[in-house]
Amino acid sequence: MAGELASLVNRGKLSGARALALRVAPDQRRHQRVAVALLGRYMLADRQEYPCQTVDMSPGGVRLTCAVGGAVGERIVIYLDHVGRIEGTIARLLPDGVAVAIGATTRKRDKIASQLTWLANRAALGLPEDRRHERVVPRQTLAILRLDGGREVEARIIDVSLSGAALACEAELPLESALTVGGTPARVVRRFKGGLAVEFRLPLSPDRFDETLVL
């Protein structure tokens, strides 16, 4: 594994990032974990963002598969599909990722437990496979798109999901254009007649995903 990571660095795939140290500490768990694969991103103390996927999770901790690690005890902020934003510290460094101790209030831990229960039982309950496709129409539909260079464009929100939004907009913006929808960083992923679709840089938190949402 160490040779594989070194090869990735040499090919520039982990340029500017810190490759994982292959140091493993004893596994100490206080909560029962649920095997669940959620996509997300995380940010280390250097404020760089990296992609990740969960292996298992409990209200007190989460194990991530990722290519870039930090130091034991380092603060980490994670954004996960369905769960939203969580904070914690790196508890262990693993050959293919990190184990994180989640720092949260009792209320937040209860919410995580409910979300994990939903994820573990969604098939039995007949719920949709992926809630990222659920959409809402916010009460406040007017949005200002701020582009690189300071240009501002007015748009109307058609609908919003946790991962992106459809916007009615007269301006024809190039695909992959970086922009901010209100205060939410995003990029243009699709264009259609009279509008465009954007993908958020980070998924929205389910905590605020309803008609009162303001981007």
Residue with the two structure tokens 């508890």: 91
Instruction: Say if pTM beats, i.e. exceeds, 0.85.
Output: no
Give the pLDDT confidence of 26-83 residue by residue, as tens digits. Answer: 444 456 788 888 888 899 988 888 888 899 999 999 999 998 888 999 999 998 877 8
- State CA 84 to chain mean position distance: 7
Structure tokens at 53: 């996927």
Q: Would you state the structure tokens that stand for residue 59, as one six-digit string? A: 């209200």
The two three-digit tokens of residue 176, written as one number: 């992959």
